[in-house]
Chains A and B, each alone.
Chain A
Amino acid sequence: MKPTHTLQAEHITSGYEQKTILENVSIAIPSNKISIIIGANGCGKSTLLKTMARLIKPTGGHVMLDGKSIHQMPPKQLARVLGLLPQSPTVPEGITVADLVGRGRFPHQTLFKGWSKQDYEAVAEALEMMNITEFAERNIDELSGGQRQRVWIAMALAQQTDILFLDEPTTFLDITYQVEILDLLTELNKKYGTTIVMVLHDINLSARYADYLFALKNGRLLAEGSPREIVTSELIKETFDLDSMVIEDPVSKTPLIVPVGRYHAV
């Protein structure tokens, strides 16, 4: 099992250029659990994720990993503990799946050495876990969206971090692939104890797959807790400005949000 870490955002204020998106947000990520950040478009979910993964430097506050500010840690050292899969990563032209996944090994490699046995093993394991071994020598450009997403997650797995951030890993995927990706991430969490933090758009899938939810609104933290504790029609109204009914998901026994809308009455 992966070791326990404390990862906290302490009073962070963050954003892009002159625009402040997050204001004074403090959260603590539960170790070895799946946390999902939810909220309406533009509420700062992605900014929070990126700030906590060192992609954005906060203008105020600190992100602390095991008591140390992540912005002061050596980049490679941090990259062995914390990884992030961006929303739309850039694909180098003509790269094979195995090679791309292999780039996840960068923080474990020294400059002059070639690939070590551990590197090969980590890549093989990541490919197997994502069920993409048959594509190993294929060109990324030939794969479908769902297959490609599995390749990117495999790259993040090859990095073998204890904490994995994912920025909307299921966007642009069919429902089948969405469930498949979330199942794979759950497996990763159950099998290795990897701490997973992600931004998801689908509130019902979030309620089903998250151990812990963070609800954001206008750059501030609105509520946090396990889905069963916090997901109510009031919270949904406040977070998304949407009238809804919250019932129990017959399959997972987690909260299920049923939107109302203008043409349907309760």
Chain B
Amino acid sequence: MNETLISIMKGRQRRKRRFVIITSVLTLISIILCGTMLMLGNTIYPVEDVIRVLLGEQVQGASFAVGTIRLPRMLAGTFAGFAFGIGGYIFQTMLRNPLANPNVIGITAGSSAAAVFCIIVLQASNTVVSIASIIGGLATVLIIYALSRSASFSIGRLILIGIGIQAMLNAFISYLMLIGNTHDIPSAMRWLSGSLNGAKMETIYPLMMIVIVFTPVLLFFGKHLEMLELGEQTSTSLGVDTNKTRIILMICSVLIIALATATTGPIAFVAFLAGPIAKKLVGVGFSNILPAGLIGVILVLAADLIGQFAFTARYPVGVITGIIGAPYLIYLLIRINRKGDI
């Protein structure tokens, strides 16, 4: 074996090792945060009590607080964080632009607008609101895709049209909030900034199902996703069916994001931050879908813990992630502006 061959193998092994180590560490942090979510609250329960509750034992006090309140909250945060993380990463990678994520291009605004409309105008039930938000998100994607599609596909056009649609939807939401009854406003507010408050097991099952079903599909297409990064022409000539790949990835990631939004509301900036952080940590070379999902989990759970316990007042998770994410958006816009490409 010659030297070149050995150095290539070593380089690849090094990157693989890094990928495995970082993914493991992220998994560990996620598990610790999940545990902390179950332990902390008005009463702090020790690990043994939490484990006993999870194993189905009846523990005085802990069973209700942990099993009925904290567990759904933790699961909602975990699955929504994971969904936002991988969905955002896939969008950013597929469209080769850090701005191209579900928040910025208006998918989440579509979900929120549909939900707020159902709450305020139709006075609909929770189930109807969730379904409407999913349909709203999907419809927004279709509209953006249709408007930005001419004979060729342009990412810049898709982002700009998305931003325009988002502005329209936000104006619509503001209008609904103004005409709405005061007692509907609190439940509508959840759709403006995400929150894990009031998460119940029955409302998070659909999200859990779809994440469990779609994550393997998305991981399966991870290699194709990496190829799309090379651009339309290169990936086509390397044998990637770019349209098919894009449609599959888009449908899967939009569905999980729409369901996550329907469950917790749009937790600001998680979809936007997870991908770049994962990429920074792991580097390029292996698909970062899984690390991005784990970063999503960590961001949501950590932000929720901060929102609940770090201040005298309790803040919903979306407020905290918004405070973390907004400066990054500004930084990114400045950098992109300097580079001169959108």
Contacts and interface: CB of A to CB of B under 8 A. Distances in A.
A103 B234 CA distance: 10
Nearest to B279: A94
Interface stretch (B39-47, B193-201, B238-246): B238-246
B61 interface: no
A93 B284 contact: yes
B231 interface: yes
B238 A103 contact: yes
A75 B224 CA distance: 13
B284 A94 contact: yes
Interface stretch (B2-10, B26-34, B180-188): B2-10
Interface string B1-27: 011110111011001000000000000
Interface string A76-115: 1111101111100110111110110011101101010001
A104 B239 contact: no
Contacts of A96: 11, 15, 284-285
Interface residues of B, number: 34
A54 B279 CA distance: 32
Interface in B58-111: 96
B337 interface: no
A104 B241 CA distance: 15
A106 B240 contact: yes
Contacts of A124: 2, 4-5, 8
Main secondary structure of the interface of B (DSSP, over half): helix
B123 interface: no
Contacts, number: 111
A55 interface: yes
Contacts of B150: 17
Nearest to A104: B238
A16 interface: yes
Main secondary structure of the interface of A (DSSP, over half): mixed
B241 A75 contact: yes
A83 B237 contact: yes
Contacts of B8: 98, 102, 120, 123-124, 127, 136
Interface residues of A, number: 46
Contacts of B152: 16-17
A137 interface: yes
Interface centre among A85, A120, A127, by most B CB within 10 Å?
Answer: A120
Interface centre among B11, B12, B227, B283, by most A CB within 10 Å?
Answer: B12
B151 interface: yes
B236 interface: yes
A55 B284 contact: no
Contact of A17 (B151, B226, B232, B241): B151
Given A127-B4, A127-B8, A99 B237 contact: no
A84 B268 CA distance: 41
B40 to A, nearest CB: 37
B5 A120 contact: yes
Contact of A89 (B11, B15, B231): B231
Contacts of A102: 8, 12
B230 interface: yes
Interface centre among A50, A106, A128, by most B CB within 10 Å?
Answer: A106
Contact of A90 (B229, B236, B237, B279): B229
B311 interface: no
A43 interface: no
Nearest to A93: B284
A103 B227 contact: yes
Given A111-B220, A136-B7, A103 B284 contact: no
A137 B11 contact: yes
B127 interface: no
B233 interface: yes
B227 to A, nearest CB: 6
Contact of A98 (B12, B241, B279, B283): B12
A84 B4 CA distance: 25
B159 to A, nearest CB: 16
Nearest to B10: A137
A177 to B, nearest CB: 21
Contacts of B15: 96, 99
B198 to A, nearest CB: 40
B2 A90 contact: no
A75 B5 contact: no
Contact of B96 (A90, A104, A109, A136): A90
A85 B233 CA distance: 8
Nearest to B235: A106
Nearest to A100: B230
A53 interface: yes
A106 B231 contact: no
B223 A106 contact: yes
B231 A86 contact: yes
A86 B227 contact: no
Given A95-B285, A98-B8, A136-B7, A75 B239 contact: yes
A54 B11 contact: no
27 contacts: A18-B151, A53-B237, A75-B240, A75-B241, A79-B237, A86-B231, A86-B233, A86-B237, A89-B231, A90-B96, A90-B229, A90-B231, A92-B96, A98-B11, A102-B8, A103-B227, A103-B238, A104-B238, A106-B223, A115-B12, A120-B9, A124-B5, A124-B8, A127-B8, A128-B4, A136-B11, A137-B11
Given A83-B237, A86-B231, 7 more contacts: A76-B239, A79-B239, A98-B8, A124-B5, A124-B8, A133-B3, A136-B4
Interface of A: 16-18, 50, 53-55, 75-80, 82-86, 89-90, 92-96, 98-99, 102-104, 106-107, 109, 111, 115, 120-121, 123-124, 127-128, 133, 136-137, 159, 165
